[in-house]
Amino acid sequence: MLKETPKKYMNPYLAGFFLGFVLLVTIYVTGRGLGASGAFKSVAIQTVESVAPTHAANTQYYVDYKESHPEGPLKSWLVFEVLGVFIGAFLSGVASNRIALKLEKGHGVRNSTRIIGAIAGGALFGFGSQLGRGCTSGSALSGMAVMSFGGIITMLAIFGMAYMVAYFFRNLWIKKEQ
């Protein structure tokens, strides 16, 4: 296969306009915004239901979820939407020659550190998205579009906290090259 150099990223304002347009169409057609963490929740719950069915049947949280989602966790709007996200991102990566199996990390960071950081960060994000009822897409971005108070304070809380702790984790990302 010919190795071509990756194309440049789209102008951020243009990409933002495009993303905003997708969001607007979503709201116009479905009355709801975009999302991501909800699909991961479906996967988590489906896993528990398959691996430990008796545990799922005896735990209130899963019982309640099952009651509100009678068709099963995977038959949800967000699961299909996130499947689309995978496809869309892949297509975009192909179009711009950016598909590559690799580990991205800050300079001088060990691979194992990066992987552990990603898992731990993911776990925190996943946990926080459940407590906060939505992540950057479902709560912050979609919430901003509909001017939801909860959405906008979620956005402020996410980015505010990230700025507050960024200094303490700078070695993960911007270690000086010397």
Q: Which of residues 49-68 bind another protein (CB under 8 A)?
A: 59-62, 65
Q: Between residue 122 and residue 151, which ones bind another protein under the rule CB under 8 A?
A: 122-151
**Is 48 near another protein (CB under 8 A)?**
yes
Q: Between residue 93 and residue 122, which ones bind another protein under the rule CB under 8 A?
A: 93, 96, 98-106, 114-115, 117-122
Biggest alpha carbon–alpha carbon distance for the chain: 58
DSSP 10: P
DSSP 90: H
The binder of another protein chosen from 2, 67, 164, 178 (CB under 8 A): 164
Cβ proximity of 142 and 35 under 8 Å? yes
Cβ proximity of 71 and 58 under 8 Å? no
Q: Report how far residue 4's alpha carbon sits from residue 90's, in angstroms, rounded to the nearest whole number.
A: 16
Q: CA neighbours within 13 Å on the CB side: how many for 88?
A: 8
**Is 24 near another protein (CB under 8 A)?**
yes
Q: How many residues bind another protein (CB under 8 A)?
A: 124
The binder of another protein chosen from 58, 72, 171, 173 (CB under 8 A): 173
Residue holding tokens 């992540």? 135
The binder of another protein chosen from 1, 2, 5, 41 (CB under 8 A): 41
Between residues 30 and 108, which has the closer beta carbon with respect to another protein? Answer: 30
